[in-house]
Amino acid sequence: MIQIVTGDTRPISKQIVDGLRMKIVTGELPPGAKIPSVRGLAMQLTINTNTVARAYAKLTEEGLIEARKGLGLFVCQPRQVLSIDEREKRLDEEVDKFIHEVIGLNFEPEVVVDKVSNKLSEVADKKGD
Amino acid sequence: MIQIVTGDTRPISKQIVDGLRMKIVTGELPPGAKIPSVRGLAMQLTINTNTVARAYAKLTEEGLIEARKGLGLFVCQPRQVLSIDEREKRLDEEVDKFIHEVIGLNFEPEVVVDKVSNKLSEVADKKGD
DNA sequence: TGTAGTGTACCATCACACATGGTACACCTA
DNA sequence: TAGGTGTACCATGTGTGATGGTACACTACA
């Protein structure tokens, strides 16, 4: 379901958030799909329940999943929880951060842009299935 | 010379690294240019000397600046300190990270790619001056 | 009606990174 | 020689991530 890589620089909870978000966005987990329980996933990954709960809280805040108490967590119908201004702002921030990280690697702009474009296409392709 | 924004999510030392790297890559600080002394910049930004020293150490490691003991720090002649494989690997990592951050914002791929392309062009333009 | 499983909310604790403050050393130039 | 330079330590405080544990309200099912 979700894999944790110890060598990854990202915190465990972020790996869970990123992994699930990707599966939801690509449609691998369609709206209505049930998500592993907090205790179940924690047990499977041999991590703490609080860590999983915090990751799920993040996804809930993003409007990707919702909890039905006593039942479990489920993928939501897609909806925007953020205003367009807020989304624009966050996109700009992320682009800036990305540019700063990449600029020192001294690649040609086209190489970087192509790579981003290809990665986004991969996601869009899965979405189309 | 360099500005520190307290509201920024980045650590102070990273802000210094990013700011100086940008000035060097764009040519605003050409090879041979002298960089503010550790104590001088620390005094100006009212931060600790160790914080500045650590930022400078990072840039030295990247091969962008070099220290002449007792004299100061200077911008290097451009050179690659990393192998092409290492650079490719880091680019891939950064692209992956970027995609993960942006995917949840639900923008059209073209919008994201255009934004990245434009930002990279801005840098390239300054470089050309 | 219980019981088991669910999400959620706390609290205490540990580990790590970031930043600070201070000191010391070797180096270069005037 | 004196002052300014980069560098290397050490101790300390703070914030975040992760852990371990407990407790509560809710739902489904036997």
Question: What is the reported pLDDT for B129?
Answer: 73
pLDDT > 80? residue A129: no
Q: Which residue of A has its CA nearest to B88?
A: A105
Task: Give the span between the Cα atoms of B83 and A99, in whole angstroms.
Answer: 20
Convert the pLDDT of each residue in A37-51 to its tens digit: 999 999 999 999 999
Mean of the per-residue pLDDT values of chain B: 94
Question: What is the reported pLDDT for B89?
Answer: 93
Lowest mean pLDDT among A111-115, B9-13, B35-39: B9-13
**C-alpha count within 13 angstroms, C-beta hemisphere, residue B108:** 3
pLDDT > 90? residue A126: no
What 3 state SS string does chain A have?
Answer: CCCCCCCCCCCHHHHHHHHHHHHHHCCCCCCCCEECCHHHHHHHHCCCHHHHHHHHHHHHHCCCEEEECCCEEEECCCCCCCCHHHHHHHHHHHHHHHHHHHHCCCCCHHHHHHHHHHHHHHHHHHHHC
CB pairs under 8 A between A and B: 109
Distance A72 CA to C3 C1' (A): 18
Distance A75 CA to D21 C1' (A): 29
Q: Strand D within 7 Å of which CB atoms in A 83-102?
A: none
| Contact between chains at B105 and A87 (C-beta distance less than 8 A) | yes
pLDDT > 80? residue B128: no
Question: Which chain B residues have any C-beta within 8 angstroms of a chain A C-beta?
Answer: 18, 21-22, 25, 62, 64, 78, 80, 82, 87, 90-92, 94-107, 109, 111-113, 115-117, 119-121, 123-124
pLDDT-based confidence at B43, cuts 50/70/90?
very high
Distance A65 CA to D30 C1' (A): 30
pLDDT, average across residues B82-95: 94
Convert the pLDDT of each residue in A63-106 to its tens digit: 999 999 999 999 999 888 889 999 999 999 999 999 999 999 99
Question: What is the reported pLDDT for B79?
Answer: 86
Lowest mean pLDDT among A105-109, B65-69, B78-82: B78-82
Interface test with A, best of B82, B95, B121 (most A CBs within 10 A): B95
